[in-house]
């Protein structure tokens, strides 16, 4: 079945989401380092955990995009099944 390809705006939106999660992950790491330097280990743990969660969300966005493109390629390459009638 023919489908329109993704527009550039959709791809740009995914890149913006990926960048957003990476910025938040880096900010969480920096905040954790600052809190450790200040000796506030409880806040450091929370900041590091939040940064790790943001990194995993970034990884999830990347993986979802790869799987979607792979599924789209597989659908394009599939041949329609011929029905066998008796």
State both tokens at 13: 């939106």
Which residues are within 8 A (CB) of 45 and not within 5 positions of it... i.e. 6 or more apart?
A: 32
In Å, how far are 28, 33, 34, 40, 75 from 46, measured between CA atoms? 9, 11, 12, 10, 43
Whole-prediction pTM value?
A: 0.63
- Per-residue pLDDT 10s for the chain (86 aa) are 455 555 555 555 667 777 888 898 999 999 999 999 999 999 999 999 999 999 998 888 888 888 888 888 877 777 665 565 65
Position 80 scores a pLDDT of: 61
């Amino acid at each position: 079945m023919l489908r329109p390809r993704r527009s550039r705006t959709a791809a740009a939106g995914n890149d913006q989401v990926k960048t957003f999660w990476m910025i938040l992950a880096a900010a969480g790491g920096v905040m954790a380092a600052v809190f450790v330097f200040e000796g506030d280990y409880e806040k450091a743990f929370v900041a590091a955990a939040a940064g790790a969660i943001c990194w995993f969300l970034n990884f999830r966005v990347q993986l979802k995009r790869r799987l979607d493109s792979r599924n789209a390629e597989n659908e394009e390459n599939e041949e329609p099944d011929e029905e066998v009638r008796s």
